[in-house]
Structure 1
Amino acid sequence: MGCGAVDEGLLKDWFEAARSGDIEFLNRYSSRCQTQVDMRDSAPEYGVYTGFSAIHYAIVCDQFEAVQELIDAEYFCRLPYDCLIVAPSIGPRAQFVLREGMNIQHLSFLVGNPKISEYILNYTHKSGHNLVGIPDSQGMFSVSVLFFIQTNDLVIRHLHSDLMEEEIQLDYTGSKPSPSHLHMSGLFGRYKLVEHLLDYIKSGVATTQFVERIYSLALKTHKYQTILDACKIPMDKKRCGTSHAERQRCLEAMEKLVAKALEYFEDNGLEQDLVENYKYVTVMTDEDKLLLMKGPKGTKRPGLGLNGSLSNSSMNLGVTSLSDSNPFMNESKSNLDVANNNDSGTLSNRGSSSHRGSMLKISQKINDNEEIE
């Protein structure tokens, strides 16, 4: 909990006020309750989530004014524990592990409320505070979320804000052997995002650094799989939220992006190792890939310029129950998790509450077998 003991009954009302948007209550008790962490046992049927602060409840319940009221005090509140939620922004039946250390920018993108996510970005600019470059416990930056959620252009456009471009740069320069952001876009069939990137690059507004970073991501391979390979991996529509036709549209957009990347780097004499590695992987047989994947840890893979084991991705998506047959999901349980059971201390959404917000209300419709709007 935060500093100082606070009556449990008052805290219960405090978190409920954040869920319901009771600004008068939040203002009255802010000095006593701000930054407190909900330590009650998870009870999704009552809208209770272990580890949430008031601002987390306000975000997932689309309470914009409550976010405004709480942000000065709770801007830096990060989740102290892993937390499992239903995430309809990924797919109707997808579950997502909010990892320890996840910040409010992560959460706002995942919920997909453009007004709240833009407000938090603008607050960062104006306040001088900065969540940029602060990943969760598994190394995922907030910008990563934009590449695999299913959302509208108002949220996607945050991708090329100055702050998110900075995070793309920070994430790319990291040494972790993980799928690129575009691998995940391909895996989930997020054609809107890829088409948005193509249009943005074509517009001439994008900076050279941003264009080159996106092109570099387009040619990055993971476990000898390209972003085009990721588009072809079978996925359950109920969990990834995209149809076969939408995934095919994503593949076509990815093919254009890869072609532009290869042309750009070859014409400008840039990223020659990356280009060669990409071309090498595209002509490898499945048998060759399996043989290399089974190589000893620390062995340099011929022709790929990669070293060390690629078996444990640091790309923390925490998406559960999506697909059992792809190289990006079959990772260690702490990263890409395909387990159907819930770990001790994680959450699942089963019930209903009057103030659970869009993310949680949609999950209730799913469990009642109602059609998603």
Structure 2
Amino acid sequence: MTNNQWDDDKLENLLHSMPKIEDNRSKEQILKRLKQDQRLKKPRRMNPMKWMPVIVAAAALLLISLLVPSMLNNKDGAMEDAGAPRSLSIERSMDPSSENETMEEADTFDTSEAKESAAMTFATVESHVVLADELHDIRAFQIGLVESANVIPITLLIPESTIQSDFPEGNPGVIDLYNKYAAVIPEEEFGFDDYHPYKGTLSVENGILHHQIPDDHAYDLSSAPNEVYLKTMRDTFSEFGKLQLIDEKGNPTSFESVGKSDPVELKQPFPYYKYTMPSGKVYLAPYNPLNTTDTVAEGLVEMKEVNGNIVESLIPGNVDYDVQEEDNIAVITFKEQLDVNAFDQNTINQMIEGFMMTAKGYDKQVRLENVVQESFGKYDLTKALPMPLGSNPIWFTP
């Protein structure tokens, strides 16, 4: 062993000479000391709920920063679109030629807009007549309906498919149509009195309409029901020239108020007027004139006047005209040039169609002269207006 090495005796003496280490603390003191030692504690984890308000606020700020520029851009584009016609592009060239094209497009748009507006205006106008070229797969059947002892000629529009189904044997006449449908027409639903069908039977002989009436009929209780009966006959069976009443044995008869058993004239033209139902619905209706109207000119002129307060004139108060006949056309010339746009469109339409229906009673057409416009709604005012098939159309599906 070298000099730096210690022998066992010296090492043992050194260990014995060292002081003894003693800990006089109690267990409780040691445990308390350990709990206070930060090195022995677990690291604290932050509660995530405390961060939620901060996160939400940051997200809101981010969202606003993204949306605001987009909203501003859209607003600018919307303002640009609002100030420009729909048919123009938002992106435009700034050169002068492009500006001229824009002006031309705007003018074109304004014109088309005006036409569209006019078309919408005319679309709201209610027509009171039925024209031949309007009937596609439809059968027109006119019948006189009653409202408070007043008779209104109504044209029922029946689908052709219904006609073919109900009459498989062939083309039905007006008497066939009446016998088939008169009992099922919803008169009260349409706003009229329950009047049809007639009592008795209808037939035709030598072109004359025959009505065989039973003994218990009530058509001649007074002049009022007698007049209603004859008016409904005229408005329903105007294609026949005369009506002959016959009794149950087939012999000619008459109403007691009439006395004579001669045939009654069915074709009797009257001027047309405006009839307003209790519901406010407007119809065109013929009415007894103040004066005789043997000619179409007299009938059209008589439309200016009203007999009683049941109907109203179809002619506006500040409109006046003269009538002349040219062959089969009644020419109505307004004394002051008529601007149809200066009036309510339904009022003008009712006047024009009233002219047409009045002239139809005389088998005539009408032509209007001294009118600003060349057309009105579906009518060409540069030529004779078409002759209607009937008045006051109503859809009817039995």
**What is the TM-score with the length of structure 2 in the denominator?**
0.23
**Greater RCO between the two (CA within 8 Å, min separation 6)?**
1
**What is the TM-score with the length of structure 1 in the denominator?**
0.24
User: Between Structure 1 and Structure 2, which shows a larger proportion of strand residues?
Assistant: 2
Larger Rg: 2
